[in-house]
Amino acid sequence: HPLGRSPEAAYRVNDMRVSRFHCTLSAEDGTVTVADTGGAGGVLVNGAKVQAQVLGHGDTFQVGESLISYLTGPYTPGATLQG
């Protein structure tokens, strides 16, 4: 599923430093992978530039100036990430 600025992206990010289709998120066999699709600036996971990376609970990935946290488990309103 593409992530980017395009209205056609499955996950839309309002960040002018993000390409129209900056990266993809895919789920398979219980894992979620973020993969760079050649967007300007690339994709950083926990501060390291990657081409593709399986995400784990609490990982943060960056596209443009946007930081996105990947959290698993049940949703708890008001919960915070403990590191």
Q: Indicate the length of the chain as a whole number.
A: 83
Phi and psi at residue 27, to the nearest 5°? -115, 130
Furthest CA-CA distance within the chain: 35
Residue with tokens 């390409």, as numbered in its chain: 19
Contact predicate 36/43, CB 8 Å = yes
Q: Give the pLDDT confidence score for residue 82 in this predicted structure.
A: 56
18-77 pLDDT tens trace: 999 999 999 999 899 999 999 788 999 999 999 999 999 999 999 999 999 998 887 777
